[in-house]
Structures are given as C-alpha cells and as structure tokens.
Amino acid sequence: MLLPTVPLLEIAIALVIFILLLAIYIWMMSQKITNLNNALTANQLALAKEQKISTMGALSAAAAHELGSPLNTISLVIKEMLSALPSESALQEDVQLVATQTDRCRDILLELSRNIRQEEDLPRQSLPLSSLIEQAAQTHKLPHITLAIQKETPDPEPTFMVTADLMHGLGNILQNAFQFATSTVRITLKWTLEEVEAVIQDDGRGYPPDLLPRLGEPQPSGRKSPTDEKGRKGGHMGLGLFIAKTLLSQRQGEVHFSNDGGARCLIKWPRSIEIVDSEVKNKASISNRR
C-alpha cells in the first residue's frame, strides 16, 4: 500500500531539518571542544611560564645569597691591598676600579634580592606601560634630570604585568640613562595590535661608536660619567646593560642600542605575549576570523 504524496514530502522535509539540526549541533559541540582545548593549552602555558619565572626568582635569590660572602671577602682583600700599596703606585687606580665594581656587584645583588622579595610579598598587579616605566625609574631619578614620557599612540594604553625581572631590566636601562644624561631622559611609547615599542633616550654624549655592536655584553662600556651612583668617579663595565638585555629577552623583548643626539635604547615586545589587554585580544581574534 503506497503512502499519500503529502506525508512523504513532510517526512522528507522533517528528515532534512533533522539532519541540518544535527549538523549544527555537532558543529557547535566541536567548537566548544576546540575552545576548551585552547583554554586548557593557554592555562598550561601560563602555568609553565609562572613556574619558570618562580624558578628563576629562586635561583636569583640563591645566587644573591651565595655570592654575598665571596664579594665581602674580595672587598676586604682589596681594602688591605689599597692600604698596603704606596700612594704613587701605578696599581692604585686599577685596584680602586676593582673595589668600585665589587661594590656595584653587591648593590646589584641586593637590589635583585629586594625586588624578588617584594614580588613574593605583593599580589600580582598590572600597570599601564607609562606607569610601569615611572615606577621602574623611581629609585634611579636624579634631582637635576627631567624624566619626560611621551605617548605617540592614543589610548587605550597597553598594560603590563609587574614582575621583578621586567622591573629590574627596565630599571638598569633607566639608571644608565640618568647617570649619563645632561638634563633630560626622554621616553617615547607607541604601540600597535602586534607590538609595543619603548624608546629610552638621554641627552648625554651617547655610546662610543666602536662599542655599539657589542653593547649588552659583559664588557667595559666606554661611557664616562662625572660620578657614579655613590658619587665616585670612574667608568662602568656595562654589566647593567648586559643584565637588562638578558632579563628583557627572557620576556621575549628585543633590545637595540644606538646614538641619536645621545644614547638611545629601543625595546620591542610582541603584544600578544607581554600585554594584558582583553580589548586588544578581542580585536585581534575578530580580525583573524575575517
């Protein structure tokens, strides 16, 4: 017995609708599974990054503790050598330079330990890039040097997580700029959806051209300032720039040194890695789906 034509048509339409609904349901479930997998992967990467940062902080604290005793011994031996050397000795200046750099190493270790302890005690926070740089510059400002921060891109300003390695890396570059500036340290900030740039520039004599290709390595910097941070005359060994470049590189930052009327340091970060900015990430995800 044949079924009427109309019921067959209705059954066919119902089957088509059922298949379409089933396909849509399967697609929606696959999208949810994909999103869950992406979220799980992102959380795993974040946890791995936090573990790496925590391990680095522990190693830095241990290094600061272990190196303190040898530095104290070296300092005592140097003082005895200075007292034993005659004032007209040719070695007097070299031994004094070693004493100066020993004190500088001790100061760097103490500051690193202090930053690590502060980061452990304080909850994680994020700051706009300009505020982050101002905070990093606080301990290095000099009364006769003006800090000028200029934003070349309109708001919203990118936001960084405040971490000890980032603060210490920026602080070393800012310290170098304040020490050799004549009157002004200028910070220029600009950003896109892909990257963020910060240019730190002083109005001093600039870097020696023959040392520019090797800046950021542990070597004599060749820059002379009237006095160092403790009021003593002498040069600097470039250790601060080396540490800064190493710490910022671990945050996937690129550091480039050049001269432009004074010493110029360009720092670049990929925005997708360093920035906590949900609006930017949403815009980027929308543009990727188009």
Name residues whose C-beta falls within 8 Å of residue 253's C-beta, 6 or more positions apart in sequence: 169, 267, 268, 269, 274
**pLDDT (tens digit, 9 = 90+) per residue, 189-215?**
999 988 999 999 999 988 888 888 888
Q: Is residue 40 part of a domain?
A: no
Q: Is residue 131 part of a domain?
A: yes
Residue 266, both tokens: 């360009």
> What pLDDT was estimated at residue 116?
58
Number of domains making up the chain? 1
Q: Is residue 223 part of a domain?
A: yes
CA distance 192 to 265: 19
CA distance 282 to 279: 5
Query: Residue 159: phi, psi to the nearest 5?
Result: -120, 135
pTM exceeds cut of 0.85: no
Q: Is residue 141 part of a domain?
A: yes
Return the sign of the alpha-carbon dihedral for residues 191, 193, 196, 197: negative
> What pLDDT was estimated at residue 255?
92
- CATH code of the domain containing 182: 3.30.565.10
Q: What is the DSSP string of 146-189?
A: EEEEEE-SPSSPPEEE--HHHHHHHHHHHHHHHHH-SSEEEEEE
Q: Is residue 185 part of a domain?
A: yes
Q: Is residue 147 part of a domain?
A: yes
Q: Is residue 163 part of a domain?
A: yes
Which residues form the domain of 243?
Answer: 125-290
Q: Is residue 129 part of a domain?
A: yes
**pLDDT (tens digit, 9 = 90+) per residue, 45-98?**
666 666 665 566 666 666 666 677 777 788 888 888 888 888 777 788 888 888
> What pLDDT was estimated at residue 88?
77
Residue 130, both tokens: 């300009």
Q: What does pLDDT average to in each consecutive run of 10 residues of the chain (290 residues)?
A: 62 83 87 77 66 61 68 82 80 83 76 60 73 90 92 88 83 91 94 92 88 72 48 50 82 89 92 55 44
Q: Strand (E) positions, the chain?
A: 126-128, 146-151, 159-161, 184-191, 195-202, 224-225, 234-235, 254-259, 263-270
